[in-house]
Structure 1
């Protein structure tokens, strides 16, 4: 009799000490778990073996990327139901080597219930070592983090996926950061991926409208005007420098570590007839020597710097902006921890999405910028805006699924779908946020050249 699903649910509930929130369908066709819930589909026995060897987020992610595990039904609801089990409970031990397996086996012999569960798990998965990780997983890195060479490799892993792939996901704006929507309402995580216009972009506002609004907000916060020099750190596919040059008349320099991004951005600049006002470089921000600039934008780049290098990042940008010049730092932030020493990067994100990426609380970002010499004048939280932006990107990916997978790989497309959907849930649940921090390098006598209120850029 087919009963793998019932045994899997029993194993999960024993391990988690709580009812499993999803329905499960196993490779033998059996089903178990709550009716009406999204269905966790284990299409292959190998998926369970991955999870047993690497319990928690990474084992599930590997099975997902390999196509051995899937979700039927509302992906957002499924991730929301799993959030409390995977992301909001202590991480299991990272190591599952032979020594730990032996220790666990010895413990199982002393506990009849655990022993029975262990035998059941082995019977389900069959013998053998853990399957090799999917090819989309980044290789393990050794040595010091955030050297220029290692940062280039990390950026290449994330951004050199293919411009065609990103064009399908991001849409015509080619902006890979949080948009600013006129109405940021999003459906509750359990109400459906496409539940109403808010999930799709809402009312008259499209994703492209919202991204233009974000770029314009940055330009107004920086008080850009004709003739000023703008440095855009982590310029992506050139959208920020193009908007600033076209609508505010600046002379702009955009830097990126991605060769594919730079090539795409240069073509956009040439097509717009702006090669005399925009310079796109493949360059590390630490190598920029032609300052000072009148303004600096850094949008979605500082997450790659890391906590140990953040003060250097802040000091470098401080040295590159003239007295009276402004910095707009747009950055994802995590919630602070009681014990900051216990912070660790999510394994799925580190292995498949942003190698060596690291999030800091917004208070830490503000402190480092001020320690470098900046005066922070404004902090604006855009958390709900990013949840909605991510849903729009997921919808784009799903609408172009066959072509997007062909442009990179089926596994890579699955990485991005899971990453973006899970991130949307994380923003909604306030596990992470995103903030625009406006800072100024004051003059010798403390003159910031700033208005007394926000009316300057809100009008």
Structure 2
């Protein structure tokens, strides 16, 4: 009798105290749940064992990456429906113990154990990284960056497209091209920084060299780009040579903390500060302040999370930490601004471009899905699944205002108080 899905649906409702908002399709072919809704596909009993041995988000993530769970239908709709329920409801040991006091919950767990058959816990997928004890040392940062970025430049070409820019684009219209929106983002940053021919720009976390190339080619500046990724650096150097810009752009494999050849007129940090960590953020801001000339500008482009009433209760996202950005941390925008000001910067402008990142992520997901077989061959099925889930889930989070992204323009204002900023800065010279 094909009855696994109805049983799972009933267990889920007992555990959550509310109906599951998506359908369930189980390995025996049975289905249950709201007609027409996307389906959570449970491919085997191992998916249940992963959830029982590691309740909450990490167990779900392991099942997804291993291919034991899947989503059938619109992934964005499914993730939106699941938000705040089983997909994002991690239970720590105390929370689970409290939940098990409910007879219905205990009955549901017993039913799941019986259905799963409970031998030893399945090994985590090989794509998982364990969080280290010592965060944000030079060694652990190199390891974290290598895990995320040294996946293969060919894979990133599939996801990012020809622009090879791995940060939020700047859209004039949702119908525009990704390449045009990334060009406009880079140009906006150059204008905010007030780049002029002959000046020096430090691009912290330079990625595949797109910002460095754009600034040197379009604004005539001398650029030093630093990254911890060997693969990114090799790719960026080739692009620089192909553009005939080797006299203007230097790409280094170097920790930003080890840059000593300032001062620079401008510094861009685009999608890098998320890797710094809360304990190291003031050190990061201090270092960039020291590297700027008086009157120099910093453009800090960074993802932000919503603040919590009790910040001490904030927990790292288990899926992101284990599979996407090991040791990465998001801070509220207010915290970022405060830390920059503590380092001595005068913050002159903060621009939220949250909706722009949702559009960008949807384009990246479309690129990945359009060439899925190649992406799998270049990495692994698990890695491709990590990226699809991560980018789609982040798109929903940006759309629902659970996370945001901001460009913060700050100046190392000299003692004279002359910031060098125009009276109506928001035109940015456009």
Could you say which TM-score interval applies, normalised by the shorter chain?
A: over 0.9
Note the C-alpha offset of 1:94. 5.8
Q: Distance in 2 between matches of 1:112 and 1:152?
A: 48
Question: Residues 106-185 of structure 1: matches in 2 within 5 Å?
Answer: 112-142=103-133, 144-183=134-173
Stretches of structure 2 that go unaligned for 5 or more consecutive residues are none
TM-score, normalised relative to structure 1: 0.91
After superposition, the CA RMSD in angstroms is 1.6
- Partner of 2:60, secondary structure, is helix
Counterpart position of 2:347: 376
Question: Alpha carbons of 1:155 and 1:447: their partners in 2 closer, same or farther (altered >3 Å)?
Answer: same
Question: Alpha carbons of 1:232 and 1:115: their partners in 2 closer, same or farther (altered >3 Å)?
Answer: closer
* Cα-to-partner distance string for 1:147-193 (whole Å, 9 max, x where unaligned): 0000000000000000000001000000000000002xxxxxxxxxx
- Partner of 1:328, secondary structure, is strand
Counterpart position of 1:273: 244
Question: Residues 180-191 of structure 1: matches in 2 within 5 Å?
Answer: 180-183=170-173
Q: Distance in 2 between matches of 1:111 and 1:422?
A: 31
Counterpart position of 1:194: none
Note the C-alpha offset of 1:75. 0.2
Note the C-alpha offset of 1:458. 5.5
Note the C-alpha offset of 1:87. 6.8
Stretches of structure 1 that go unaligned for 5 or more consecutive residues are 184-197
Note the C-alpha offset of 1:140. 3.8
Note the C-alpha offset of 1:118. 2.9
Question: Residues 323-338 of structure 1: matches in 2 within 5 Å?
Answer: 323-338=294-309
Counterpart position of 1:22: 22
* Cα-to-partner distance string for 1:184-219 (whole Å, 9 max, x where unaligned): xxxxxxxxxxxxxx4xxx1xx200000000000000
- Partner of 1:309, secondary structure, is helix
- Partner of 2:238, secondary structure, is helix
1:215 paired to 2:186: yes
Counterpart position of 1:399: 370
* Cα-to-partner distance string for 1:260-313 (whole Å, 9 max, x where unaligned): 000000000111111111000000000000000000000000000011100000
1:317 paired to 2:288: yes
Alpha-carbon contact 2:16-2:86 (below 8 Å) kept: no
Counterpart position of 1:429: 400
Q: Distance in 1 between matches of 2:108 and 2:132?
A: 35
Counterpart position of 1:35: 35
Question: Residues 218-233 of structure 1: matches in 2 within 5 Å?
Answer: 218-233=189-204
Note the C-alpha offset of 1:44. 1.1
Counterpart position of 1:417: 388
Q: Distance in 2 between matches of 1:255 and 1:30?
A: 53
Counterpart position of 1:72: 72
Alpha-carbon contact 2:23-2:38 (below 8 Å) kept: yes
Q: Distance in 2 between matches of 1:115 and 1:95?
A: 15
Counterpart position of 1:83: 83
Alpha-carbon contact 2:21-2:82 (below 8 Å) kept: yes
Note the C-alpha offset of 1:137. 0.4
1:358 to 329, 332, 347: 329
Note the C-alpha offset of 1:340. 0.8
Question: Alpha carbons of 1:127 and 1:328: their partners in 2 closer, same or farther (altered >3 Å)?
Answer: same
- Partner of 1:296, secondary structure, is strand
* Cα-to-partner distance string for 1:63-110 (whole Å, 9 max, x where unaligned): 111011111100000000011215765x310699xxx8xx78xx96x8
Question: Alpha carbons of 1:73 and 1:458: their partners in 2 closer, same or farther (altered >3 Å)?
Answer: farther
Note the C-alpha offset of 1:452. 1.6
Note the C-alpha offset of 1:455. 4.2
Question: Alpha carbons of 1:386 and 1:94: their partners in 2 closer, same or farther (altered >3 Å)?
Answer: farther
* Cα-to-partner distance string for 1:1-33 (whole Å, 9 max, x where unaligned): 111111111111111111100100111111101
Counterpart position of 1:93: 92
Question: Alpha carbons of 1:111 and 1:303: their partners in 2 closer, same or farther (altered >3 Å)?
Answer: closer
Counterpart position of 1:450: 421
Q: Distance in 2 between matches of 1:374 and 1:114?
A: 53
Note the C-alpha offset of 1:447. 1.1
Alpha-carbon contact 2:43-2:68 (below 8 Å) kept: yes
Q: Distance in 2 between matches of 1:111 and 1:246?
A: 65
* Cα-to-partner distance string for 1:203-257 (whole Å, 9 max, x where unaligned): xx20000000000000000010110000000000000000000000000000000
Q: Distance in 2 between matches of 1:267 and 1:426?
A: 35
Counterpart position of 1:295: 266
Counterpart position of 1:61: 61
- Partner of 2:203, secondary structure, is strand
Alpha-carbon contact 2:15-2:104 (below 8 Å) kept: no
